[in-house]
Amino acid sequence: MSVSVAFFPLNKMSGIKIITTSTVRKVLKYEELIPAIERCLVKYSRGKIQQPVRSTVEVEKYEGCLMTMPAYDTVDDVALLKVISLYPKNEGTKNAPKRQSTILYFLPSTGILAAIIEAHLITYMRTAAATAVATKYLAPDNAKVLAIFGAGGQARSHFQTMNIIHKYEEIIVWNHTTENGEKFCQEISETFKNVRFCSSAKEAASNADVIVLVVSSQTPVLKGEWLKEGVHVNGVGACRPTWREMDDECMNQCELYVDSREGALKESGDIIMCQPKKLINGEIGEVIDGRCKVDRNKKTIFKSLGIAAEDLAAGHLVWKNLGNEI
């Protein structure tokens, strides 16, 4: 297997590996990543992965923000720091992506920086893998229809993972922009035949057994009045305290599960702004671990903020699959 890894010499004894997106694409596979994410979510909820809530600095002049996400796995002895820039106004700008992310991978025994990993693809993949794991434990067993709200990179990664953990009979796509939604449907129809674009968010939601929200919305796109009994919703797109993708009725109808209780209470606008105050049933790691029981006949939500533990699992897989050992 040919991969692209550059070396930047620090001194005569060591060097930093620069791992590009093209290399990540070659060595990081969902078949390994999904179970790795499942394990890391359990370790996180057991307190075995140390990580603070994401630290954010607002760059108000340009309506952007800078974020840092450090983590240390005390079980597998892995440490890294993820750095993110989020500038929503860059949407559609040719030479300025809306989001950029980089992982700094450290040797925990010495603190030496071992690798710099382009993390844009890792973010898509680990987020979709976490959604797949949550759906595995929260969604109805007989789910037939999957609705994906969105048509960007996260929609594509979620299409892949959701069809690994469950076989759906139909996929419905809704997107703010019809052209992009139809293009996405055309792409995935090459591997999944029964897919259609729906111009009505209400119709898409009303027919779905499982819903994935990946639209980076700042205002609700999903209403509780549209939800069928037993539906499972994955809220992935609204990752800021003032952003929402689900209305109060949607939140209040459903049992709520999160990746990180601490992070959700500080970062999720869907939870922070919900009236009345919405209580969290548990972390998905607690569900996997059997410490939190789920009634799959009820409506459920997995609110995903994306945590550093997931980047830890994905980054370590990249490191190992390149033949590196700590």
Is residue 22 in some structural domain? yes
102 domain-assigned: yes
Same-domain check for residues 71 and 134: no
Residue pair 152/183 in contact by the 8 Å Cβ criterion: no
Residue 324: what pLDDT? 81
Task: Answer with the residue of higher pLDDT: 101 or 1.
Answer: 101
As a whole number, the mean pLDDT across the chain is 94
- Number of domains the chain is built from: 2
Same domain for 226 and 110, yes or no, is no
Residue 61: domain span: 5-121+310-321
Q: Among 269, 234, 281, which Cα is nearest to 127's?
A: 234
- In this structure, are 135 and 258 located in the same domain? yes
DSSP state of 288: H
pLDDT the model gives residue 93: 72
Residue 287 scores a pLDDT above 50: yes
Note whether 178 and 154 are same-domain residues.
yes
Same domain assignment for residues 141 and 113? no
255 has a pLDDT exceeding 50 = yes
Over residues 231-248, mean pLDDT: 94
Indicate whether 227 and 290 sit together in one domain. yes
Other C-beta atoms lying within 10 Å of the C-beta of residue 190 = 8
- Whether residues 32 and 154 share a domain: the answer is no
Q: Is the pLDDT of residue 271 over 70?
A: yes
pLDDT digits (tens, 9 = 90+) for 3-13: 665 554 444 34
Same domain, 177 and 223: yes
Does residue 326 lie in a domain region? no
The pLDDT score that the predictor gives to residue 281 is 98
Instruction: Clarify whether residues 129 and 253 are in a common domain.
Output: yes
Helix (H, G, I), strand (E, B) or coil at 248: helix
Taking residue 209's Cβ as centre, other Cβ atoms within 10 Å add up to: 21
Residue 80 has pLDDT above 70, yes or no: yes
Contact 181, 204 (CB under 8 A): no
**Considering only CA atoms, which of 296, 323, 298, 284 is closest in space to residue 43?**
284
Residue 14 lies in a domain: yes
User: For position 73, which CATH number holds?
Assistant: 3.30.1780.10
Is the pLDDT assigned to residue 2 strictly greater than 90?
A: no
- The CATH number of the domain holding residue 222 is 3.40.50.720
> 71 and 22 in one domain?
yes
Query: Is there a single domain that holds both residue 156 and residue 246?
Result: yes
The mean pLDDT of 33-55, rounded to a whole number, is 98
Q: pLDDT digits over 174-225, tens only?
A: 999 999 999 999 999 999 999 999 999 999 999 999 999 999 788 999 999 9
Question: Are 229 and 190 contained in the same domain?
Answer: yes
Q: What is the mean pLDDT of residues 312-323?
A: 97
